[in-house]
Structure 1
Amino acid sequence: MINKKKPEEYIRKILKDEYHDEWKKIFNDSALLQYLNLKSGAIHGNSKSRRSLANWYAIYAILNFYVNDGFVNNRKKYSDFDGFTYSELFNFQRIQYGGAKLQNHALNSRVNGEMADKITNDHSKYIIVRNGRKYLIHPDFIYVDGKDIAPVVLKIIKKYQKILYDKDHEFEVKLEELTTEKDLTKQRIQLKQLLTEDSEARIFEIISYCILETHYKGEHIFIGYTKESIKEEALRLYKTGRTNANDGGIDFVMRPLGRFFQVTEVGNYDKYFLDIDKINRYPLTFVVKTDKTAAEVKKELMDYGTEKSGGMKVLESKYHKAVEDVITINELKQWMDNMSEEEIKSTISEIDHYYKFEMNML
């Protein structure tokens, strides 16, 4: 088993309250606890990690019914059990906070694959056992040093839910203040304060889209198939789906130029070029959650592209051309300064709309 990282503070506290001096041993001996700890990145404001609610709720659903049906500390009874039905598990996931749009991938394969790849290094034993349309968690992952940890795992999952809810509610309060503020100068200041390196990843993506959409619709180009059909058109930016979706690096698309935008952050340039490779090195504009200058980030990307090409000039050229442009927090704030009162109010209205859409509040 691989211990990837130290336990998050909220996990450590729950384990310490339950197991006292034994908590470290329980954590180190539990692949399940280490997996949940690994998936806790979204509790940090500056994390790009996805919330992985499908993974959390696949485990949560099974253990919820496990506890409610009286299997705690009754391994023999559980070993004779044929599983919980897909419909009851799926319905349970869908009523959880943030779970309304979840699909079945986590139950069917994703949790098993990640656990084997990132924690146990063992593909011969899966944590979620599938029996036709029924599912169980393998008891070897529930029992640690003879202790049934299912009730404690439920506490950890519920705490993770609460932390995410509080984070979302905090932004909801700020958004309410922003939409009700009448003074334009104060609105502009409050909006800028939401754009920081510590902004939650989804919030940054929503705000950056709304600023970019407002900025570009004020720009026009002349386009047409023939000289006679050339006409003036405003640039239009479209979101391609939900924030933090697994979309191959395309977060926004611009019409009619066909520019692709990806929202990301400084820290892992290999991820940038993985996305570039996914779309066959089609040029990307990176919207980066950083206070670094755009020129600084672009130079780092160029240097990384040179290194990644391994000395092959043809690859180096393709990687360099694939970085079409870089936009950072600095540009977003600068463009905000140039917005009219009407544009600022429109941007705030769009942020309010997309935030509520992402939170399934509409």
Structure 2
Amino acid sequence: MKHSFTDTIFEILTKNFGEDAEAIFNNSELLKYINQKTVSAHKGSKARGSFGNLYAIYVLVEDYIKEGFHKKRDYSKYEGAKFSALFKRQRELPFGNKLQNHALNQRMNLEFRKYFPTCDYIPIIRVVVTQRYWINANLIELEVNKKDVNIAESIIEIIDAYAASKRSAFESFIETCERLKDIENEQPEEIKAFILGLLEPNIDARIFEIVSYSILKADYNDQTVYFGFTEETIEPENLKLYKTGRTNANDGGIDFVMKPLGRFFQVTETTDVKKYFLDIDKLEKFPITFVVKSTETVEKLTERIKTGAKQQYSVDAIVNKYVSCIEEIINIDKLKNSLESVERKGNMPDVLNEIIKQSKVEFNYEVEE
């Protein structure tokens, strides 16, 4: 598959290997896999970045180079890298500060096998008992055109270039937000158009979660409920939405929490009903609102969930229990309606400010400035 970042991959290979670059690429499943995972490089901040599996490769290849195995051929005698050191290094890399251990442990190998089912090797070798890891040297020590070729340093260069491209796109995104903030009183329509552009099915899941939270928080904040333990103590209270942590975190299916109603919100980009039921199960069937990155109508999404429930569970009582746990489905159209409501109240700047704030936190931007 050829895409815009493929040219960068070939530039690096040509710089390092000259006329052998194309043959090296064609003979390397690992380079082809990296090519697959870097398709979003030049699509801007709104395209999903692939860092988990790439950084699993990166830290192992980096360890391989640090120990000098790209220059000597005795990697088979190496005791392996410690998991704790690899995991720590992943989180030091750009956009890697919240990565989990899934890629190192199994996810990367499984996906690689999906792309290259006939390949004799898996990229990551590990011994679970000792928590030691190796990159599979067969995938980086190649023989091309009767020459011994080591692509370890090129892999590091390629993934570094991809991360730099994604960081540049994100910095441009933040700069645009800051510029719009400066002209919010003069050109409110431009701000609205920008935010609406972030509510598209193809945007990065993290950006979608941030934008949906920012819109809903501003919209709910002007809605009032009355609470009190007795009739005499009942008082008005605005609805307040809170983020529970980083996006895509392993938090048991809670992305936002609303006070004082105690509503739970889960943001999802999938329409796979099994994922919905998994989140419901994790919360022990507590009612949950799903914010779905989809332009399908709420009616279609609801019907799909019901159909999936009937296929998975043939007992009506179980089906009805799962469906009753879905308090509300908020799709892209509902988010747009909420944005219209926010605009009518004159609170559009609040949405933009929240997007800037949450984006900087999410991408560790202020720390790295």
Scaled by the length of structure 2, the TM-score of the pair is: 0.78
Q: 1:1-362, aligned counterparts within 5 Å?
A: 10=5, 14=9, 17=14, 19-20=20-21, 22-23=23-24, 25-27=26-28, 30=29, 32-33=30-31, 36=34, 40=38, 43=41, 51-53=50-52, 55-72=53-70, 74-76=72-74, 78-83=75-80, 92-99=89-96, 101-102=97-98, 106=101, 110-120=103-113, 127-129=124-126, 136-144=134-142, 147-181=149-183, 182-183=185-186, 184-309=188-313, 311-339=314-342, 340=344, 342-362=346-366
SS where residue 307 of structure 2 aligns? helix
CA-CA distance at 1:331 after TM superposition: 1.8
CA-CA distance at 1:205 after TM superposition: 0.8
Is contact 1:41-1:49 (8 Å) kept?
no
SS where residue 356 of structure 1 aligns? helix
Taking the aligned partners of 1:35 and 1:228, their CA distance within structure 2 comes to: 66
Is contact 1:46-1:198 (8 Å) kept?
no
CA-CA distance at 1:39 after TM superposition: 5.1
Is contact 1:259-1:285 (8 Å) kept?
yes
SS where residue 200 of structure 2 aligns? coil
Unaligned runs of 5+ in 1: 1-5
CA-CA distance at 1:254 after TM superposition: 1.0
CA-CA distance at 1:300 after TM superposition: 2.2
CA-CA distance at 1:196 after TM superposition: 1.8
Give the stretch that moved more between structures: 352-361 or 174-183.
174-183
Taking the aligned partners of 2:155 and 2:345, their CA distance within structure 1 comes to: 50
Identity %: 33
Unaligned runs of 5+ in 2: none
SS where residue 338 of structure 1 aligns? helix
**Letter paired with 1:196:** E
SS where residue 153 of structure 1 aligns? helix
Instruction: Identify if the C-alpha distance between structure 1 residues 333 and 62 changes in structure 2 by more than 3 Å, giving closer, same or farther.
Output: same
**Letter paired with 1:236:** K
SS where residue 222 of structure 1 aligns? strand
CA-CA distance at 1:85 after TM superposition: 6.6
Task: Give deviations 1:261-291, integer Å, cap 9, x for gaps.
Answer: 1112254333223222322332221112222
Scaled by the length of structure 1, the TM-score of the pair is: 0.79
Is contact 2:264-2:287 (8 Å) kept?
yes
Taking the aligned partners of 2:33 and 2:105, their CA distance within structure 1 comes to: 11
Give the stretch that moved more between structures: 86-95 or 334-343.
86-95
**Letter paired with 1:167:** A
Is contact 2:287-2:325 (8 Å) kept?
yes
